[in-house]
Chains A and B, each alone.
Chain A
Amino acid sequence: MQTASLEKIFVKGNEAVAMAALEAGCRCYFGYPITPQSDIPEYLSRELPRLGGEFIQAESEIGAINMLLGASAAGVRAMTSSSGPGISLKQEGISYMAGSELPGVIVDIMRSGPGLGGIDASQADYWQATRGGGHGGYRIIVLAPASVQEMYDLTMLAFDLSDIYRMPTMVLADSVIGQMKESVTPNPRPDTVLPAKDWAVRGREAGEVQNIVKSLYLGDGEMEKFHWKMQARYQELAEKECRWEEVQTADAELIITAFGSTARIAKTAISMARDAGMKVGLLRPITLFPFPKKAYAALSGRCKLFLDIELSTGQMIDDVRLAIARDAEVSFYGRPPGAGSLPTPEELFEQIKKNYPAHV
């Protein structure tokens, strides 16, 4: 563990990701240039060699994710990062990593799409992140930072969760969080008790068991058994690892729910609403998988009106609908990502006024 200074530093979100990865002990990074995440490979191409680590600018996003697979299988902490178009290409490798129960951290600094889209902020990779974006049916852990400090802290957490649950783990942010600068406390790596990587390939000494990292299951019942094992792991994640933030929910008559950058904008709009005498709160999921269903269920037992806000035409709302009480309602306000579509606090305040319950 390197010694981290606890003096505050002023850095970009993407740089905070790279710094946290180094503090977490990540010594292998494999990436490919794509806006708006290129600060991450640039930072690590400078710093990793100084620490005796390995930086490779891969030939492709596919090359990078498979290098991550190989390094993770060899038992070291490793990371890759990209944006939506690159994450699409990485999905093959992510599926193989999920099928091989491999850890590994994948950062998605979302940009607008589909296709080449644009480089503006977007939250439209929610589905491909949380639904297991590749083939075969699987989930990965997804963490959604809403500040540069969280870019740092959640990247650190991603490495621990990934090692503990032996699942690929994604940090899902967007170009707003990735590109903006804020002050950050570079917290030291926590002394989490981690399981031994006794499954990793390392070369066999005499008498040691053969370690095979694979996702092929041809034997009768083997594939089904794997899936039930993973379902149990997802259940354990849901019970132990859900994280969320609540702001002024205790007396709320309307609860805004949003993640990442949109939640930041919503907080300002909520202050405006509070100033105007409206009881509005925020429920911000920090883990998108596992989705904090219990927080929604608990809040919707009392507050029956939710407003889901996303920088997309609505993806997380699927999870919100499944999580809230049956007699609660959820409205939606979102704009498709792209240049000029990031909502302002005033715009969200208007939506609050429009959706605020009339009886109050």
Chain B
Amino acid sequence: MKQVFARPESLKDVATHFCPGCNHGSVHRLVAETLDEFGIRSETIGIASVGCSVFLYGYFDVDVIESPHGRAPAVATGAKRARPDRIVFTYQGDGDLAAIGMSEIIHAANRGEDITVIFVNNTTYGMTGGQMAPTTLPGQKTSTSPYGRDISKDGSPFKMAELLANLDGVAFSARVALNNPKNVLNAKKLIKTAFRYQVEKKGFSFIEALASCPTNWGMNPLDANQRVTDEMIPYFPLGVYKNTANL
């Protein structure tokens, strides 16, 4: 019988701790498939961040450095400069990358470090219980914005894919979503393109993945997927914002 679907070799055969309906598992799988398809699992170093994605090393069958909160792009810089023959990627959430780690991501991107950054934006701090994030939408209620995000006081959500695309050091920047099959297929294609930039030593690549967090949004998984369509994508448009080498 022909096998048509299997677990990527780059993922371990274990159950994840992610909540039902969470998109982290999908992003993990797409990254793992990409590592398999390029045949680079054995030369890849992952940088785990602080948040729900900290357990990266429990699921990916690659060597991993656990970074302090927000510092993954700096840790990745050190690892890549020390071992330029390796494929180095960070995997970070919105609080990690766009709040406490804004300095590290901006400067790693601006230096054009030859790394790939996977940024999972679910508009909230998942691990700590659903507090307001730098990408929380205007009016969105969270455990620390109980009356809704007030942009007159809290500012507006950061659009990281667009922001980073403005930097000369960035070679590739795109935003994807995981809330329906079409978006998943497109996400796979663009994640693979992001890694292709690094495989071909063509510079810094960035993927922003819009993700659901049913637990902290207080929704069931289907409603959460619908929210990605109805509320997130209009504010955070999907697409390729920069593709310098036309890969």
- By a beta-carbon cutoff of 8 Å, the part of chain A in contact with chain B is 28, 30, 54, 56, 58-60, 62-64, 66-76, 78, 92-93, 96, 100, 201-206, 210-216
Contact = CB atoms under 8 A, between A and B. Distances in A.
Contact of B74 (A67, A204, A214): A67
B66 A71 contact: no
Nearest to B106: A59
B67 interface: yes
A203 B44 contact: yes
A25 to B, nearest CB: 13
Interface in B40-90: 41-45, 47-48, 54, 57, 61-68, 71, 74-83, 86-87
B111 to A, nearest CB: 8
Interface residues of B, number: 35
The 5 A-B residue pairs with the shortest CB-CB distance in the complex, in nearest-first order: A70-B78, A66-B74, A214-B66, A67-B78, A59-B107
A73 B79 contact: yes
A68 B57 CA distance: 21
29 contacts: A54-B81, A56-B81, A59-B106, A62-B71, A66-B104, A67-B74, A67-B81, A70-B65, A70-B77, A70-B82, A71-B79, A71-B81, A74-B45, A74-B79, A75-B82, A96-B68, A100-B65, A201-B63, A203-B83, A203-B86, A204-B41, A206-B42, A210-B61, A212-B57, A212-B66, A213-B64, A213-B66, A214-B64, A214-B66
B41 A67 contact: no
Contacts of B145: none
A213 B68 CA distance: 12
Contacts of A63: 71, 74, 77, 103-104, 107
Contacts of B107: 58-59, 63
Given A59-B107, A203-B86, A210-B63, 8 more contacts: A59-B106, A62-B71, A66-B71, A70-B78, A74-B65, A210-B64, A212-B57, A214-B66
Interface of B: 41-45, 47-48, 54, 57, 61-68, 71, 74-83, 86-87, 103-104, 106-107, 111
Contacts of B41: 204
A74 B83 contact: yes
B103 A213 contact: no
B71 A201 contact: no
A336 B118 CA distance: 49
A68 B78 contact: yes
Contacts of B106: 59
B65 A69 contact: yes
A75 to B, nearest CB: 7
Contacts of A212: 57, 63-66
Contacts of B44: 203
A211 B57 CA distance: 9
A53 to B, nearest CB: 9
Contacts of B103: 59-60, 62-63
Contacts of B66: 100, 212-216
B195 to A, nearest CB: 14
Given A66-B71, A204-B41, A216-B54, A74 B64 contact: no
A70 B63 contact: no
Given A213-B65, A214-B57, A70 B79 contact: yes
A95 to B, nearest CB: 8
Contact of B77 (A67, A92, A215): A67
Contacts of A210: 57, 61-64
A309 B87 CA distance: 52
A220 to B, nearest CB: 16
B79 A204 contact: no
A92 B68 contact: yes
A70 B47 CA distance: 9
A215 B79 CA distance: 17
Contacts of A96: 67-68
A213 B65 CA distance: 5
Contacts of A67: 74-75, 77-78, 81
Given A93-B68, A93-B71, A203 B45 contact: yes
Contacts of B61: 204, 210
A28 B61 CA distance: 27
A73 B42 contact: no
